[in-house]
């Protein structure tokens, strides 16, 4: 089954010239979703991963499913102000402003081996923020994984510049 074919492309969303890669069509197709999570789980099964961290919002879907497939705990990386207990965070830049993601201070222990999961990597700004939070807490991020990569936007290079590898199941040209 072609995972790329299970992802809908919506032209001119959210603005003209953008090709939006909509993973909801992959998620609603049980065999495609199972295949995607299976491929990611196979990659990390023997990597001594201890937890999976997922970035809000669609990274929760990918990350929680991956954690379940590996029998591991899941760490939610949330938007500003959404966590009920003491949290640490990192601000990052968006195309039109800035945002922040946060994590509970007790979510990971020093030295824990973590995989960061999200649905898509474009510029890598959100993934960088996740990497910085986790390493600040003393965890070791062994890799970031995604369903989709948009290589033209430079996310892979951004993470490599921070010393972190990444893996994506599908790459689409363009924005």
| Helix residue ranges per DSSP H, the chain | 24-27, 30-44, 58-70, 125-136, 155-161
Catalytic residue, candidates 56, 82, 86, 95: 95
User: What does the alpha-carbon distance between residue 87 and residue 78 come to, in Å, rounded to a whole number?
Assistant: 10
Map residue 67 onto helix, strand or coil: helix
Label the pairing between strands 73-79 and 87-94: unpaired
Catalytic-labelled residue, pool 43, 58, 100, 113: 58
Annotated catalytic residue 58:
yes
Convert 109-130 to b/e letters by CB count within 10 Å (16 or more is b).
Answer: eeebbbbbbbbbbbbbbbbbbb
- Positions marked active-site: 58, 95
């Amino acid at each position: 089954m072609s995972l790329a074919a299970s992802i809908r492309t919506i032209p001119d969303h959210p603005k003209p010239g953008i090709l939006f890669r909509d993973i909801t069509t992959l998620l609603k197709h049980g065999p495609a979703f199972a295949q995607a999570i299976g491929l990611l789980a196979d990659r990390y099964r023997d990597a001594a991963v201890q937890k999976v961290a997922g970035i809000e919002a669609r990274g929760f879907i990918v990350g929680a499913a991956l954690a379940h497939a590996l029998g591991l705990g899941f760490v939610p990386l949330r938007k500003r102000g959404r966590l009920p207990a003491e949290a640490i965070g990192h601000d990052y830049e968006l195309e039109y402003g800035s945002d922040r993601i946060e994590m509970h201070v007790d979510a990971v222990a020093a030295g824990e081996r973590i995989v960061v999961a999200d649905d898509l990597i474009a510029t890598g700004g959100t993934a960088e923020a996740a990497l910085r939070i986790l390493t600040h807490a003393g965890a070791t991020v062994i890799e970031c994984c995604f369903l989709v990569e948009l290589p033209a936007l430079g996310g892979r290079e951004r993470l490599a510049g921070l010393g972190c590898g990444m893996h994506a199941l599908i790459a689409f040209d363009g924005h």
